[in-house]
């Protein structure tokens, strides 16, 4: 059996956006978009930057398709799919101090 859950097969979906919030309707639209990302299993990495761990490229594609279905009418939204290996190479800094990388997830296989 091949190693189905390796750092090159496991994917991360990154969603980054800049949405207008000048009017009450725009603020509601931006808030609804963020809530729907959270409901789909995304985690806020920064205020307009959300990430989601996916066990495969196919699973990541499903979530990307779901996001495309909830895009707000206005604003800019970017989607990026990267491997777990690439995501693990990220360097994070708070001020001039290096911070721990985000935790990696273990995929449990039942069958």
**What is the reported pTM?**
0.81
Q: What are all long-range contacts of 61-70, with beta carbons under 8 Å and residues at least 24 apart?
A: 63/13, 64/13, 66/40, 67/13, 67/15, 67/37, 67/40, 70/33, 70/36
Full domain range(s) for residue 47: 11-99
63 is a domain residue = yes
- Based on the structure, what is the number of domains in the chain? 1
More confident residue, 33 or 4: 33
Measured at the CA of 88, the angle between CA 86 and CA 91, to 5 degrees, comes to 100
* Residue 4 falls inside a structural domain: no
CATH number at residue 91: 3.30.70.240
| Domain assignment present for 42 | yes
Given a contact cutoff of 8 angstroms between Cβ atoms, the answer to whether 26 and 74 are in contact is yes
pLDDT digits (tens, 9 = 90+) for 51-90: 999 999 999 999 999 999 999 999 999 999 999 999 989 8
Domain presence at residue 61: yes
Q: Is the pLDDT of residue 95 over 50?
A: yes
């Amino acid at each position: 059996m091949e190693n189905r859950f390796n750092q090159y097969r496991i994917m991360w979906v990154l969603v980054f956006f800049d949405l207008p919030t000048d009017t009450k309707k725009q603020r509601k639209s931006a808030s609804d978009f963020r809530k729907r990302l959270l409901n789909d299993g995304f985690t806020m990495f920064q205020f307009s930057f959300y990430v989601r761990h996916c066990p495969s490229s196919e699973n990541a594609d499903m979530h990307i398709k779901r996001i495309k279905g909830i895009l707000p009418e206005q604003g800019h939204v970017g989607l990026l799919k990267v491997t777990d290996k690439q995501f693990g190479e990220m360097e994070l800094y708070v001020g001039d101090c290096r911070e721990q990388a985000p935790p990696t997830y273990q995929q449990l296989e039942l069958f």
